Amino acid sequence: MSVLEVQLSAAAAEPIERVDFEALVQTHQDRVYDFCVRMLGDREEALEVAQEIFVSVHQALPTFRFDSKVSTWIYRISKNHCLNRLKYLERRGRGRSDGLDDVPEEALGSADGAPIRPDDALQAEHERAMVQRAIARLEPDARALVALRDIEGLSYEEMVEITQLPLGTVKSRLHRAREKLAEFLVEEVPEGERA
Amino acid sequence: MEPSKSKHQEVRSMFPALVDDELPMDMVANLRAHLESCAECRSGWARYERAVSLVRRVPREKPPAALTAAILRRIRRRKSLALRREGTLAMAYRVPYGAVLPIVLAAAVGALLFFLLTR
- Per residue in B32-61, pLDDT (tens digit) is 999 999 999 999 999 999 999 999 999 999
Domain span including residue B99: 67-117
Residue A76: count of CB within 10 angstroms of its CB: 16
One domain for residues B28 and B71? no
Residues A146-168 pLDDT 10s: 999 999 999 999 999 999 999 99
Percent of chain B topping pLDDT 90: 63
- Interface pTM, i.e. ipTM: 0.77
Across the interface, of A22, A134, A182, the residue whose CB is closest to B72 is A22
Nearest CA among A32, A23, A26, A29 for reference residue A4: A23
On the question of pLDDT at A95 being above 60, the answer is: no
Whether A16 shows a pLDDT value over 80: the answer reads: no
First to last CA, chain A: 47
pLDDT at A23 over 80: yes
Q: How confident is the model at residue A107 (pLDDT cuts 50, 70, 90)?
A: very low
Interchain contact, B16 vs A127, CB within 8 Å: no
Closest to B78 (Cβ–Cβ): which among A55, A134, A195?
A55
Question: What are the structural domain ranges in chain A?
Answer: 1-99
The pLDDT of A98-114, averaged and rounded, is 52
B39 with B73, same domain? no
Q: Is-contact B49 B19, C-beta < 8 A?
A: yes
Helices (H), chain A: 3-11, 21-40, 43-60, 70-91, 118-136, 140-146, 156-163, 167-188
Question: Which one is predicted more confidently, A15 or B101?
Answer: B101
Burial, A10: exposed, middle or buried (Cβ in 10 Å; 0-12, 13-18, 19+)?
A: exposed
The average confidence (pLDDT) of chain B is 87
Q: Any CB–CB contact under 8 A between A11 and chain B?
A: no
Eight-class DSSP state of A99: B
| Residue of chain A nearest B59, judged by CA positions | A128
Mean pLDDT along residues A171-179: 96
B40 and B79 assigned to the same domain: no
Q: How far apart are CA B53 and CA B61, in angstroms?
A: 17
Q: CA of B76, closest CA in chain A: separation in Å? A: 10
| Predicted pLDDT of residue A12 | 47
- Cα torsion A3, A7, A62, A23 to 10°: value is -60
pLDDT at A13: 44
| In a shared domain, residues B80 and B107 | yes
- Full 3-state SS string of A161-192: HHHCCCHHHHHHHHHHHHHHHHHHHHHHCCHH
pLDDT, tens digit (0-9, with 9 covering 90-100), for B14-35: 999 999 999 999 999 999 999 9
Confidence band of A15 (pLDDT split at 50, 70, 90): very low
CB contact under 8 A, B52 and A150: yes
Task: Quote the minimal CA–CA distance from B85 to chain A in Å.
Answer: 17
Percent of chain A surpassing pLDDT 90:
61
Model pLDDT for residues A35-83, shown as the tens digit of each residue = 999 999 999 999 999 999 999 999 999 888 888 899 999 999 999 999 9
Residue A31 has pLDDT above 90, yes or no: yes
Do residues A22 and B68 lie in contact, with contact meaning Cβ atoms separated by under 8 Å?
Answer: yes
Cβ contact, residue pair A182, B48, below 8 Å: yes
Residue A19, Cβ density class (10 Å: 0-12 exposed, 13-18 middle, ≥19 buried): buried
- Is residue B62 a part of any domain in this protein? no
Whether A11 shows a pLDDT value over 90: the answer reads no
Q: How confident is the model at residue A132 (pLDDT cuts 50, 70, 90)?
A: very high
Q: Does A180 touch chain B (CB under 8 A)?
A: no
Q: How confident is the model at residue B74 (pLDDT cuts 50, 70, 90)?
A: very high
**How many angstroms away from the CA of B102 is the closest CA of chain A?**
42
CATH of the domain spanning A1-99, picked from 3.40.50.2300, 3.50.50.60, 1.10.645.10, 1.10.1740.10: 1.10.1740.10
Q: What pLDDT, on a 0 to 100 scale, did the predictor assign at position A2? A: 52
The alpha carbon of residue A67 is apart from the nearest alpha carbon of chain B, in Å, by 25
Q: Does A116 touch chain B (CB under 8 A)?
A: no
What is the predicted pLDDT for the residue at B8?
A: 84
Is B97 a domain residue? yes
Residue that terminates a domain, selected from B28, B56, B84 = B56
Residues of B in contact with A131 (CB under 8 A): 54-55, 58
Q: State how many domains chain B has.
A: 2
Least confident of A114-123, A182-191, B25-34, B96-105: A114-123
Q: Which of A38, A179, A195 sits opposite B48 (nearest CB)?
A: A179
Residue-level pLDDT at B75? 92
- Quote the pTM value: 0.76
Please tell me the predicted confidence (pLDDT) of residue A188.
83
- A54 contacts in chain B (CB < 8 Å): 71, 74-75
* Percent of chain B with pLDDT strictly greater than 70: 87
Distance CA B68, CA A51 (A): 9
Taking an 8 Å cut-off on Cβ atoms, the answer to whether B68 and A131 are in contact is no
